[in-house]
Amino acid sequence: MVASGFWLLASGFWPSACKYRQGGQVAVFKGFSIWGIRVRIDQSWFIAFLLFAWIISTAYLPLQVPDYSRFTYWVFGTLSSLALFGCVLLHELGHCVIARRLGIPVRQITLFIFGGVSEMAQTQSSSPKAEFQTTIAGPVTSIGLAAIFWTVAVLATGFLDRIIVEMFHYLAYVNFSLAAFNLIPGFPLDGGRVLRSYLWHRSGHLGQATRTASRVGGIFAMILMGLGFLSILTVSLIPGVWLILIGLMLKNAADSEYRSFELQSGLHDMKLREVMAPPIAVDTSMTLSQFVNDYVFHYHYRSFPVVELDRFIGMIDVRAIKGVPPQDWPFTKIGGYLSDPATYCVLNPEMEAMDALQTLLSRNCNKAPVVRNERLLGILSRSDLFKLISLKRDIAA
């Protein structure tokens, strides 16, 4: 009974987050679109769907409305689980519809095992008010749905079959707990964004507001994990594991949201040419011994841009010369050991610094030459960018 009540509550524990322009892709089963908003369903969603169908069919419904056949429980359990995800989707659509109305372009909605994410195609909310309105729209939608399902359940009592009425009751509870859970003030949950918009409005400092809201988010995630451990010890295993997983996911999300916020604000409005480092290049006429002794051992880099008569012609990686016997190094030119162009990225100095970083991350490059009209102008590495952000922070503090 306790576990069943817990599950009723836990099925509303669906983190819903709004993301502002994030990189990274998840494996996607397929997508469709509602009101012009793309909806993607991650493969992991099916695990959650089956898990909830199973819990509702075998534990929740048999306790609430006994004496039905196993088949009937499964039919209504599956329908309830589908409806639950429909409600999560409507919650996300609530965010997106208001965002669009406020002129914030919406990229897509993703449903996955731990809830829903609305992605906006813009780095930040334009104002505290816009952030508040976009965020609160989700929980308001869920509370509205809870009220509708509850009214239907009340009106249908004694009129429709008991199990159908129970399904409406369940959906009313679930939507209510969905709103309540997401309103907990831990960033990046809706409540955390509401908190951030309030702090932002009060202090005028988005960075400070984000830092405080993320910290509260991290604390809340730890509390959730603590409750999960308690539940494993006292109530039952699966709800506890579920709480711990959601806590871990939230902790991770709070940290990565803050890091990406710092990055975005640190690189905001900067061109790549303003942040790239001066290039250290090798010439094709150089021998392998000169390359190793004067460059690799001296600068401690693994790869270098290669130039010929001042023209950029490629990159060389120290791993490429592994097969050459060291006694041949003084007589072998590096020109024959250039890397395959598909393995590195070349950047344009006029691109935005943030886009350059996205390119490095998405193509899995650690560093890249910056080239214009075949001339090597600089070099950009991920670690340099992160160092730059922390330098900017030190100067600002």
In this structure, the number of other CB atoms found within 10 A of the CB of residue 103 comes to: 9
Q: Between 141 and 265, whose beta carbon lies closer to Zn ion?
A: 141
Cis peptide before 349 (omega within 30 of 0): no
Interacting positions 175-234 with Zn ion (CB under 5 A): 182, 190
Q: Between 188 and 247, whose beta carbon lies closer to Zn ion?
A: 188
Q: Between 117 and 371, whose beta carbon lies closer to Zn ion?
A: 117
Residue listed under structure tokens 């969603």: 45
Report in angstroms how near the CB of residue 308 gets to Zn ion at its nearest.
55
Sole window of 14-22, 40-48, 120-128, 342-350 interacting with Zn ion (rule: CB under 5 A): 14-22
CA proximity to 346, closest of 366, 318, 324, 369: 369
* Packed helices 128-156 and 162-182: angle between N→C axes, nearest 10 degrees: 160
CA distance 250 to 191: 13
| Identified binder of Zn ion from the candidate list 6, 7, 16, 39, rule CB under 5 A | 16
Report in angstroms how near the CB of residue 106 gets to Zn ion at its nearest.
13
Report in angstroms how near the CB of residue 241 gets to Zn ion at its nearest.
24
Interacting positions 336-395 with Zn ion (CB under 5 A): none
In this structure, the number of other CB atoms found within 10 A of the CB of residue 397 comes to: 5
Q: Which SS3 state, helix, strand or coil, does residue 86 take? A: helix
Q: Is 134 in the site for Zn ion (CB under 5 A)?
A: no
Report in angstroms how near the CB of residue 16 gets to Zn ion at its nearest.
3
CA distance 127 to 382: 30
Report in angstroms how near the CB of residue 87 gets to Zn ion at its nearest.
12
Sole window of 132-140, 146-154, 294-302, 373-381 interacting with Zn ion (rule: CB under 5 A): 132-140
Total residues contacting Zn ion (rule CB under 5 A)?
4
Q: Is 138 in the site for Zn ion (CB under 5 A)?
A: yes
Q: Between 87 and 389, whose beta carbon lies closer to Zn ion?
A: 87
Q: Between 3 and 18, whose beta carbon lies closer to Zn ion?
A: 18
Tell me which H or E stretch contains 7.
helix 2-10
Report in angstroms how near the CB of residue 166 gets to Zn ion at its nearest.
26
* Packed helices 237-267 and 2-10: angle between N→C axes, nearest 10 degrees: 20
DSSP 277: B
User: Is 116 within 8 Å of 109 (Cβ atoms)?
Assistant: yes
* Packed helices 70-101 and 44-55: angle between N→C axes, nearest 10 degrees: 130
Q: Is 131 in the site for Zn ion (CB under 5 A)?
A: no
Residues engaged in binding Zn ion (CB under 5 A): 16, 138, 182, 190
